[in-house]
Amino acid sequence: MDALRFAYRPLPVRVVFGKGVLGDLPAEVDALGLSRVLVLSTPGRRAGAERAASLLGNRGAGVHAGAVMHVPVEAAAEACRVAEAARADGLVSFGGGSAVGLAKAVTKETDLPIVAVPTTYAGSEMTPTWGMTEDGVKRTGRDERVLARTVLYDPSLTLGLPPAVSAASAMNAMAHAAEALYAPDASPIVSLMAEEAVRELAGALPEVVREPGGLAARTRALYGAWLCGTCLSATTMGLHHKLCHIFGGLLNLPHAETHTVLLPHALAYNAPAAVPELRRALGRDDPARALWDLSGSLGLPRSLKELGADPVHLEDVVARAVGGGFANPRPVEEAGLRVLLRNAWEGRPPVA
């Protein structure tokens, strides 16, 4: 322990967790001093967003169901116009990563405070990371102004999430925890949270898929997702997240499923980093293979080919990743990346 050295600064997010806490939304909005709050969602989550808006009563400034994957700059600009026209003094993101991503994009331009109501396991509601896509390139950055002021985790809101979407969303969350374990700014508390997060999510997922209406497993999964997002909020992203952002911007691949396919291969590439903690969490000697097997058992895609990726783009991805300038425990080199991406495209088991 003599050589132990780290820095850790928790970010100022209020978290309220439990069945039915959506009902706390008006009180949480009042606590922030807000009086005209715009609710943001995807088109598919409009009904839930309307319910949230109805709870707000005269505090509500309407619903904008314009969130889409990867936050195109056009969608962000439109949401900013809607917020201005509504004279909104705050935002509620209702939904998964697309909704909170849109809220962050608006806040980046307007400084409007965010109350996040997650309905998936994405975890991005806990982070100060924003992302927007323009001309086939997804740009990301960290800015504490876009951090949600309050997050309401209500497991009952995840009950309607289809099993396949639930499983892919949870694999996305586990990627946050896994990469936090080998981040250059990792710390003992982050490592403890990451290990617990992976254990809870991996343990809950089979039951979530088998019995999607079971609240106990949904609660366990959402708890794990909160931990995963908290890990990502305290650390910087490595190769796995970089590859996902490249594929998202370049090919508009589905975000959670891209994480699902790439995570085992990125972990194998970076081994032995994070292996001891993930071994304990997953109960397997080879964590990368364990996650690949888990994806298969849940019926999730295990190849980029299944997601519609054309192999002609793989060299472009290699070039962008090698020139990305991000921290990673193993040097990001062309030869190794080609093997990683070819295996991921084919759906082969991960290899170190």
* 14-69 pLDDT tens trace: 999 999 999 999 999 999 999 999 999 999 999 999 999 999 999 999 999 999 98
Residue ranges covered by each domain of the chain? 14-158, 163-346
CATH class of domain segment(s) 14-158:
alpha beta
What are the pLDDT digits (tens) for 235-268? 999 999 999 999 988 898 998 999 999 999 999 9
- Look at residue 1 and tell me whether its pLDDT is greater than 80: no
Long-range CB contacts for residues 202-208, cutoff 8 Å, separation at least 24: 202/174, 202/281, 202/282, 202/290, 202/291, 202/294, 204/170, 205/166, 205/167, 205/170, 205/294, 205/298, 206/297, 206/298, 208/163, 208/166, 208/167, 208/170
141 within 8 A of 129, measured Cβ to Cβ: yes
Beta pairing class for 37-40 and 90-95: parallel
* Per-residue model confidence (pLDDT) at position 280: 97
What are the pLDDT digits (tens) for 277-335? 999 999 999 999 999 999 999 999 999 999 999 999 999 999 999 987 788 999 999 99
* Per-residue model confidence (pLDDT) at position 149: 98
Output helix, strand, coil percentages for the chain, rounded to the nearest 5. Answer: 55, 10, 30
pLDDT band at residue 83, thresholds of 50, 70 and 90?
A: very high
| Preceding peptide of 301 cis, ω within 30° | no
pLDDT band at residue 79, thresholds of 50, 70 and 90?
A: very high
Cα gap 247→256, rounded to integer Å: 12
What fold does the segment set 163-346 form as a domain?
Dehydroquinate synthase-like, alpha domain (1.20.1090)
- Name the DSSP class of 33: T
230 within 8 A of 293, measured Cβ to Cβ: no
Cα gap 288→286, rounded to integer Å: 6
Cα gap 171→176, rounded to integer Å: 9
* Per-residue model confidence (pLDDT) at position 105: 97
* Per-residue model confidence (pLDDT) at position 136: 83
Q: Which helix (H) or strand (E) holds 326?
A: none
What are the pLDDT digits (tens) for 123-151? 999 999 999 999 888 888 999 999 999 99
* Per-residue model confidence (pLDDT) at position 325: 78
- Look at residue 2 and tell me whether its pLDDT is greater than 80: no
